[in-house]
């Protein structure tokens, strides 16, 4: 089972949803990078369950423990191992589901592939696996900040049919974190929260879209052909639990335009830097960053675990009615925001290191 991501900056996540712990090993981080556990914890706190009335009530503090790779507040260049212990795991709560294939979960497909599965909360298929991604993403965020002064921010753009009206280029972390749904449009956020609460009361769930902007990314990141920057971003985002779609720049809406309408003209600014006067390309051409903001969106499906009765089958092929119980998010979007940021940081930091190693710039 593949659990490693990246080329020069490589991360390997480990652990199951209701096992003893989850975590990550980060290999390839440059030495002498200033880093504290508090910087990692900030992003983990944004991802953890139990943080608001519209997230899973599972009560996990998600405290990061750095086991290796740091000394006197700086990275050593050696592997950084981080562990987060599961303190509110309840594996026994899933006993009645051990022979049941839950609709739209990975129960059947994992068993079809491996002949065995961890039925305690989904094991590796659980979104709890993303703890390791977020911890590693915090390290990648520091690499980007120190080596390129780049910034990565994501927010909830849409929940079901409720969409935020916001200038993505100007959005700030303070705006995003100003409410529990992580939407910088206050009026839309209020409506989103009400819609999510309504779904939860009805035993249902909702999906939506997370938008992300990456600022200060230098031109030249990405490889032609197979390792295009947007291709690696798409792979990273589509590896996330519940993700169902990815688009960059104008995305699917760009298909409605003509070439003249869609092209981004080049110009030179007052400092002599080559820029584009529009950004329908989403910050890159030919799979290589052009120095403009990288803008993309990720679609997430409604949470698969719901409290309504559903028809399914068990391992013996018998039809049964399933009414799921337990702790789950009625909408994954608010907690997906830091995970989207983390994966974007990992991709960009990896390509930054590759560019430095290849071209020395």
Provide the domain limits for residue 36: 4-359
DSSP string, 250-266: TGGGGGGS-HHHH---E
Mean pLDDT of the chain: 94
Distance CA 284, CA 293 (A): 9
By CB atoms closer than 10 A (0-12, 13-18, 19+), residue 53 is: exposed
What is the CATH number for 35?
Answer: 3.60.150.10
pLDDT in tens, 233-257: 999 999 999 999 999 999 999 999 9
pLDDT in tens, 75-132: 999 999 999 999 987 777 778 888 999 999 999 999 999 999 888 878 888 899 999 9
Domain count, the chain: 1
The predicted pLDDT at position 17 comes to 86
Distance CA 63, CA 229 (A): 32
């Amino acid at each position: 089972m593949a659990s490693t991501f990246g080329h020069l900056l490589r991360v390997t996540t480990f652990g199951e949803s209701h096992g003893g712990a989850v975590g990550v090993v980060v290999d390839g981080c440059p030495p002498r990078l200033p880093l504290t556990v508090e910087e990692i914890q900030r992003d983990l706190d944004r991802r953890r369950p139990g943080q608001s009335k519209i997230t899973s009530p599972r009560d996990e503090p998600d405290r990061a423990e750095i086991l290796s790779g740091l000394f006197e507040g700086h990275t050593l260049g050696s592997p950084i191992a981080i562990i987060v212990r599961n303190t509110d795991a309840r594996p026994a709560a899933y006993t009645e589901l051990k022979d049941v294939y839950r609709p739209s979960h990975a129960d059947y497909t994992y068993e079809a592939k491996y002949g065995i599965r961890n039925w305690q909360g989904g094991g590796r298929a659980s979104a709890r696996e993303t703890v390791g991604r977020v911890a590693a993403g915090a390290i990648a965020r520091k690499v980007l900040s120190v080596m390129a002064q780049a910034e990565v921010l994501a927010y909830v753009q849409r929940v079901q049919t409720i969409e935020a009206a916001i200038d993505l280029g100007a959005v700030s972390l303070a705006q995003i974190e100003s409410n529990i749904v992580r939407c910088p449009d206050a009026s839309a956020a209020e409506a989103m929260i009400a819609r999510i609460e309504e779904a939860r009361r009805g035993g249902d769930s909702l999906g939506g879209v997370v938008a992300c902007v990456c600022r200060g990314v230098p031109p030249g990141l990405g490889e032609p052909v197979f390792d295009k920057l947007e291709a690696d971003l798409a792979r990273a985002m589509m590896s996330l639990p519940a993700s169902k779609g990815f688009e960059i720049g104008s995305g699917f809406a760009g298909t409605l335009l003509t070439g003249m309408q869609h092209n981004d003209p080049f110009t030179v600014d007052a400092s002599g830097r080559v820029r584009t006067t529009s950004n329908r390309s989403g910050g890159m051409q030919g799979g290589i960053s052009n120095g403009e903001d990288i803008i993309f969106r990720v679609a997430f499906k409604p949470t698969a675990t719901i409290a309504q009765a559903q028809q399914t089958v068990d391992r013996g092929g018998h039809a049964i009615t399933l009414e799921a119980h337990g702790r789950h998010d009625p909408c994954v979007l608010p907690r997906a925001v830091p995970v989207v940021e983390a994966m974007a940081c990992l991709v960009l930091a990896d390509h930054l290191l590759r560019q430095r190693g290849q071209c020395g710039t």
